[in-house]
Amino acid sequence: MKKILGIFLILATSLQVQAQIFEVKKNELVFKYDRGTGKYSVSQNNNLIIKDAVSYAVLSDGTRVSSENLNGLSKISEQVVADALGKGKQYTVSSKTKAGIEMKQHFFLYDQKPIILVQLEINGKNIASNDMSPLYMQANINGLGKALYQVAVPFDNDTFISYENESLSKTNKVSAEVGVVYDKNSNHGLVIGSLDQSVWKSGISIGGNQNNYDFLAIRTGFTDVNITRDSMGHGFIKGNRIVSPKYLISYVKDWRVGMEDYAKIHRQLQKPYVQQWTAATPVGWNSWGVIQEKINFQNATATAQYFEKDIPHFRNADGDAFIDLDSFWDNMTPGGMSGDYSQLEKFVHYCDSLGLKPGVYWAPFTDWGHGSGPNRTAEGSSYKFGDMWTKTKSGYHNLDGGRALDPTHPGTLARMDVILGKLVACGFKMIKIDFLSHAAIESTGFYDKNTSTGMQAYAVGMKHLVDVLKGKMLIYAAISPSLATNQFAHMRRIACDAWKTLDQTEYTLNSVSYGWWQTYLYDFIDADHLVFHDEPENVNKARLLSGIVAGTIILGDDLSKKENWQKNMNVYLQDSEILKVIADGKSFRPAGFVEGKSANQCYFKKSGKYLYVAVFNFSNEKQHVAVDFTPLGLNPAQQYVAEELFTKTKQNIKSDLPIAFNEGGGKLFRITL
């Protein structure tokens, strides 16, 4: 009898342990939650990708609420979910502390997508937090590969920052908003990324070594002066309910495909606030490339004349081109930005008469005259600039020579009303908006008391900008947060400023090498103004090709002058076969492998019956660049005929036949499939 009773107790204990494990299988995913430990794991295709992860939140009084400290107190509920990603199930694990703080861990699994979304919610009375993590893991995962790398994604494109691709280590940089760890040999990778930047800044931390990753953390409420530009901690979210963004977790056979899917999912869930862009891929000119502060009515209209007479066929598929006045357009408004806009109106009418689309520029969230003191009256209101400055723990936020303005302040908003209103009234069809990261800075207190974080302030300012423009302009974002801007702009510059040299072309292409997937977040991404001035033709072709690879062509030379480069480059700019490459507005995908802050030498894009392949030599020496056919979707055993579109020469290419360069430059091949 004792023996039978003992067996019964063992079985009962076993059943009790099993009951603690909640398991769901969906598509290729297996999700397990251990109610006894408050930890969860995720497998995909029998590969363990998340092991013993917990969720936590730190409250403003220092209390740390963690799922692993709520052992056995949780309950699990499920409900049907149907959103832009399709149908699926939401599983919620609810737990409470003895003090009555409720933690809800939300897990979303979809019927048709092998992904999982995670989200954390904290409920209580008058609570506050600026530090949450739906996923915090310290456990060894060694099945991803034997040559692991991490891509660090910048928060924005300021200060000539670069993407970095480094061998995985314990001390790698935190990646802003989205992180990826992948195996160099197989390209298998794990992608983790925020799907909403309207409230929180997020960081993705990944640690380990080349054989395994043993640390993963989503940091909701992430700031770092070298990444997010903030000199202080993240703002607190207060109330009875605090919710993190949803985060994507996806294990993929090719991390590049995974990043593209992440961007597409992000755009599906966060619909653009800006009106849909239905016109063709933008092409045109911007004055900051060479003319810069010397812009005036004479050289601006001379540039429009150049487009009419010298490059009449450099147009997009709609027959349009933009002539964009950058900073210092107020040289043409006597009395400053509150002055006489009649000369700008005359410029707009002149462009219209030539069938060109006039563009303009502004940085709405910066004060460039802060050195003259706080008591200057801002345009559009009686407010003083000193009242509008964003306050931080260190005083104010100064970067790039500009001081940040509080995007929620009525003076900032009124200034946007009057200046943007005047530009709309002039008839401009495009606006380049700049230094937008200044609007996302954390503050000790915004004017709008319902705003407590930098990203909330950013959304207020950017929504107002879109509203004032009334759908009248193409919105092009220059320096700006990489992900949060996608709701408010049609087009975004992929890197910081670049001009004409090979090293600047390589700098730009670093951001395309690791940020090309933003082509699915925005209608267009851009390689900045393309300057050819006094460089040899081989260098100029590489610079032009960097724009083609990014997806648009915006020129930057002083076209009011005749220069030697124009004769040859104008041929390429008006080549219908080259212009067809950018007709779909999408970026090329990188191929090959490079480390650190370098740029890939090979990029490709399939469009219709053609495969376009761009190959670069960033050195000034002879070089043979090997092209791996496999990631391009070509048969390595087959020989192909490729036409080089700059020279109009055809050649046979094979996987084992490197592309020969006699000097630095770029080549654009078109292969008929």
The fraction of the chain above a pLDDT of 70, given in percent, is: 97
Task: Tell me the two tokens of residue 668.
Answer: 């654009």
Beta bridge partners of 76: 93
User: 240-274, pLDDT tens digit by residue?
Assistant: 999 999 999 999 999 999 999 999 999 999 999 99
Place of tokens 């060479």: 290
Domains and CATH numbers, the chain: 23-269 (2.70.98.10), 283-586 (3.20.20.70), 590-672 (2.60.40.1180)
Residues whose CB falls within 8 Å of the CB of residue 493, separated by 6 or more in sequence, listed in order: 157, 476, 477, 478, 479, 480, 525, 526, 527, 528
Q: Are the C-beta atoms of residues 623 and 321 closer than 8 Å to each other?
A: no
Place of tokens 């506050």: 128
Compute CA distances 352 → 168, 305, 656, whole Å.
54, 12, 52
Kindly report the average pLDDT of the chain as a whole number: 94
**CA count, 13 A, side-chain hemisphere, 249:** 25
Task: Tell me the two tokens of residue 553.
Answer: 């062509």
Place of tokens 């993705």: 204
Q: What is the pLDDT of residue 73?
A: 65
> pLDDT band at residue 28, thresholds of 50, 70 and 90?
confident
User: 432-453, pLDDT tens digit by residue?
Assistant: 999 999 999 999 999 999 999 9
Strands 610-617 and 212-220: unpaired
Q: Are the C-beta atoms of residues 646 and 541 closer than 8 Å to each other?
A: yes
Strands 398-399 and 430-433: unpaired
Given a cut of 50, is residue 276 above it in pLDDT?
Answer: yes
Q: What is the pLDDT of residue 72?
A: 58
User: 135-186, pLDDT tens digit by residue?
Assistant: 999 999 998 999 999 999 999 999 999 999 999 998 878 999 999 999 999 9
Q: Are the C-beta atoms of residues 141 and 48 closer than 8 Å to each other?
A: yes
Given a cut of 80, is residue 5 above it in pLDDT?
Answer: no
Q: What is the pLDDT of residue 8?
A: 39
> pLDDT band at residue 71, thresholds of 50, 70 and 90?
low
Q: What secondary structure, in 3-state letters, does 155-204 show?
A: CECCCCCCCEEEECCCCCCCEECEEEEEECCCCCEEEEEECCCCCCCEEE
- Sign, CA torsion 197/202/207/212: negative
User: 530-542, pLDDT tens digit by residue?
Assistant: 999 999 999 999 9
Residues whose CB falls within 8 Å of the CB of residue 122, separated by 6 or more in sequence, listed in order: 57, 59, 65, 101, 102, 103, 104, 129, 132, 241, 242, 243
Residues whose CB falls within 8 Å of the CB of residue 241, separated by 6 or more in sequence, listed in order: 121, 122, 123
Task: Tell me the two tokens of residue 257.
Answer: 């495909």
User: 624-649, pLDDT tens digit by residue?
Assistant: 999 999 999 999 999 999 999 999 99
Q: What is the pLDDT of residue 656?
A: 80
Task: Tell me the two tokens of residue 629.
Answer: 């056919």
Q: Are the C-beta atoms of residues 92 and 78 closer than 8 Å to each other?
A: yes
Q: What is the pLDDT of residue 4?
A: 46
pTM for the model = 0.95
Task: Tell me the two tokens of residue 324.
Answer: 């964009």
